[in-house]
Amino acid sequence: MIEALFNQPNYLAANKALDAVVLRQQAIANNIANLETPGYKRVDLAPSFEAALEQATASGDPQQLAALKPSLAVDTSAVPGSLDGNTVHLENELMQMNQNSVAHSFETQLVSGMLQRMQMAITGKDA
């Protein structure tokens, strides 16, 4: 019964997006750590996730949204920047990391706001 509170499509979608941002941070951290590793191929969020999230949001089906799971994949579009076959470009990774951190702020504020509104509705008081 209480699950119904947290089963709204918007809340679920925001949660999944937050999951994806955290996973992406891991991928970027890994890429930067392996800046000098010969033969390393950069990893990133699997491109299929964004499409799946969009589709699930459009359908508004809580089950479909809850089943979503972001995953990582080797970025096949990245080209090697050096002769050792490493596909990590530092500037690009730092930019992606900053973008990701803005996305994270946005998602946490969104989720926070939703929870606060819910609390306000329950208690009738401003949180």
SS3 state at 76: coil
Helix, strand, coil percent values for the chain (each to nearest 5): 65, 5, 30
Nearer to another protein, 38 or 60 (CB): 38
Q: For tokens 């702020």, what's the residue?
A: 105
Single-letter code of the amino acid located at 78: A
Q: Which stretch binds another protein (CB under 8 A): 1-9, 56-64, 99-107?
A: 99-107
Q: Which residue has the tokens 């809850």?
A: 66
Q: Which of 71, 82, 95, 117 binds another protein (CB under 8 A)?
A: 71
- Residues in contact with another protein by CB under 8 A are 18, 22-23, 25-30, 32-41, 43, 46, 69-74, 90, 93-94, 97-98, 101, 104-105, 108, 111-112, 115-116, 127
